[in-house]
Every structure is written in structure tokens, then in C-alpha cells.
A and B are shown apart, each in its own frame.
Chain A
């Protein structure tokens, strides 16, 4: 999935690629599905990051998540940086980027509305890493923390939900967990499989999305 052009996609997206290289990359994109797909995903990440509100949540949930994202391990996958909306990402590590963006927006966005003070514009900085490292320990920890945070919020309000709805949500979370487990096992057997890596990331993102949705429904229920 990676070739010499893949690491240049971010520069291309930012408009920073020299003209000659840009032409070369565009020619390459016409024949390389993998790079074209990566570019589309990168654009999606940029759009999502750009659409995040220029605010930070005041609730207690945010500092913990922000801290985890910022501290990570020695090679952080992503961190918020103030005053820069530029996205610097290399590689089809979109899996991790998507997870992190989803994590941030997913775990907190629905809680943000009460926030008043202006905050730095978000940026996502994705460290260079091979696809098989899409789920670095830091990303994995952030993901697990986000799941726990959303679970906690959902659990606090779950009594407001109809029991049938709760059962449906839990059933579907179990389906996603099964898909995640399948993908993890597959990735363990074939660590360089880019499809499985992206598939795993998508399944994890889907779980965050569902948890966020359920938590929103529970919070809205009266």
C-alpha cells in the first residue's frame, strides 16, 4: 500500500508539493488506487478536523483525554496543537488518524455545547509510522480511554433509555466488538495487511460512533 508517493500526499494536500512533483503525483494518482484512496481518506480527516468547533470542553472529561493524547508514548500518534489548523500527516496511517479524530470529536463533541470560552483551533499531527503500527500503544490507550469515558457517560444515563433500546445498543456493540476481535486476530496473523489494519480502525471508529450516539440519546431522554 505504501510507495514513494504515499508519504508525499500530505504535502500535496497542503499545496506544499513542488510543481514538478505535484504533476508526478497526480499522474501517479491516476493509476494507483491505493494512493487515491489514501488521499480521499486524508481529505476526509482534514475535513473532519476542520469542522471541529474552535472550542474545548469544560467538562472534566476533556482534560483526561487531552492529557492522554498529548502524553502518549515516545512516538505520539496525534496531539492537539493550538493555533494551527494545518494537517501534517504522512502515510496511510489514516486508521490511527481517523480513530483519533473520531475519538476527540466523538468522545467530547456532544458534551461541548455548554462550553463558553474560545479555544485554540485544532490541528492533527500524525507521526510517521508504518501501517502496521496504526494502533500504537498510545493510540490504543487513547481509544480504550475514549471507550471507557463514553461508556461511563452512557451508563450514567442508561436508565433513561427504553430497555429495548438498551438491548439493541448492547447487541450492536457486541457485533462491533466481534468484528474488532476478528480484525485483531487477523492482524496478528498478518501484521502487514493494510486492508485489515484499516478495517480494524474502521470498526473501532464505528464503536466510538455508536457509543456516542447512544450516549446522546440517553442524555436527550427525559
Chain B
């Protein structure tokens, strides 16, 4: 049965800033908090708990397979610290303007977007899409597919298993302890560091305009590596034999091991470093 209940916290929960209700598996959670915080923790119950940090300026709308939580801005935005405990299976869509966002322990798809504020994700499984304009993005312990778009801030990703795609403009990208067959990381003004496995048949592309690019494989390294720079340098801890060179030595390829994986390392005017295999 289709039903929708608009429950402004001020109306339906006049005295409450802490409410818990049951949610059916498959229900999504959409949160829009203009300013303040959105902190989501996962738990094992089929229940959603919402704590509004003492304010009643929050609306909670329960619809078919979706719960929407939003700041009421009749009198303009205010800082609200939203604490939400959600089922681990619950897909999350989190948005804010001047808002810090944290998600811990989710096992579902997540989208999070903040204009001014950091985004921190710990744990998780599935597709994760994060957008930040002015703020850092930190992802730790994810097993899934990660897409990050950051404009002004650093991106730090660690202990992630799965495909990774990161685009930044002004900020470093650090990828540490990665297990992935597809990695793409690109920034205009920042360094990029990759430490992780290089899987046979995998594809890895790190691109910076004005920054250094460091690629450090853990474990075996069977890769065809293409290096490109215009006015930067290349340093390798591993002896390499360049099999093909173009553009006056600024664009060259070499093979390590079976050459199965494809690795592209590019920096317009930074230093490209290839580190030796480490475990």
C-alpha cells in the first residue's frame, strides 16, 4: 500500500529529537542537511534511528521504500548535527551544503555530496559515489566500487578492495593498501601516490598536471607500464628497459614480468616514481 506520512519533527515528534522506527529491507534513506553534520552508523536491526541533536527543525518523510530526512529552512538554514543509525543494508543518499558527512559500517550503496565539508567513509560495501567541493574525502575499509569527485581538497583512500575512480582538481590523491584491478586517479594540482596490488590484466592510470606521481606495487608486478611527461622526470627503483620511446624520451613504455597489467603514469611537469615491489 502506498502511503506517505509527512512528519515534521516539530509536529509529529513535538518533544522528541530521538526517534526510532522500523524500515523494510530495500528502503533507501535520503538526507539533506543544509549545514552542520550528517553522521550515519550502521547496525544490524531493521530499524532507523534519527537523532536531531536537540533541534526540531527536521522533517522526516516516510514513503514507499524511501525515508527522507531534511532540515526545515523556513527561517533560513541553521547548523544541525544529525545522528542516524541505519540498517547496514540501507542505501544512503546524503547531501549537504556546509555539512560534514561521516558514514561508518554501511554495507549498501552510498552517495554523498557536500559543498563545504569533509566526507569520511569507514567500511562499506557496494557502489560508493562521493562529491566534495571544498573539503577532504577519506575512505577506509571499503569493499566495492568507489567514485570520488573532489574539487578543492585531498582524497585519501586506504584498505579498499574494488574498482576506484577519482578525479580531483586542487588536491593530493593518496591510495594506500589497495586491492583492485581497475584504478583511475587524476588531479590537476596535486601529488598522487598508489600503494597496492597490481593484478594481472588490471588497469591502472594515474595522471597529474602539476604534481608528482608515485606508483608502488605490493606483491608481484607483471605490467606493461607507460610513462608520459612533458617537462617532468622519471625515477625507478626497478631496473627497466625501455622498449618504445616517443616524443624525445618523454613518453615511453616498458614491460615488467609478463606485462599482463596496464599501468599508465603521467605527469605534465612532475616527477614520476616507480617503487619496487614490496609486501
Task: List residues of chain A with CB under 8 Å of any chain B CB.
Answer: 1, 31, 33-34, 36-37, 40, 162, 164-165, 168-169, 171-172, 175-176, 178-179, 182-183, 186, 190, 192-196, 199, 202-203, 206, 209-210, 213, 217, 221-222
Contact = CB atoms under 8 A, between A and B. Distances in A.
A217 to B, nearest CB: 6
6 contacts: A37-B264, A162-B98, A171-B170, A175-B170, A183-B230, A199-B268
Contacts of B248: 190
A195 B266 contact: yes
Contact of B133 (A182, A217, A222): A217
Given A203-B188, A210-B151, A37 B169 contact: no
Contacts of B169: 172, 175-176, 206, 210
A178 to B, nearest CB: 8
Contacts of A176: 169, 188
B266 A172 contact: no
Contact of B268 (A165, A182, A190): A182
A194 B226 CA distance: 13
B259 to A, nearest CB: 8
B-side interface mostly: strand
Query: Top 3 A-B pairs ranked by shortest CB distance?
Result: A195-B228, A179-B209, A172-B169
Contacts of B210: 178-179
A173 to B, nearest CB: 9
Contact of B134 (A1, A164, A175): A164
A193 B251 contact: yes
A36 B134 contact: no
A202 B207 contact: yes
A165 B152 CA distance: 10
Nearest to A189: B230
A61 to B, nearest CB: 23
B44 interface: no
B167 to A, nearest CB: 7
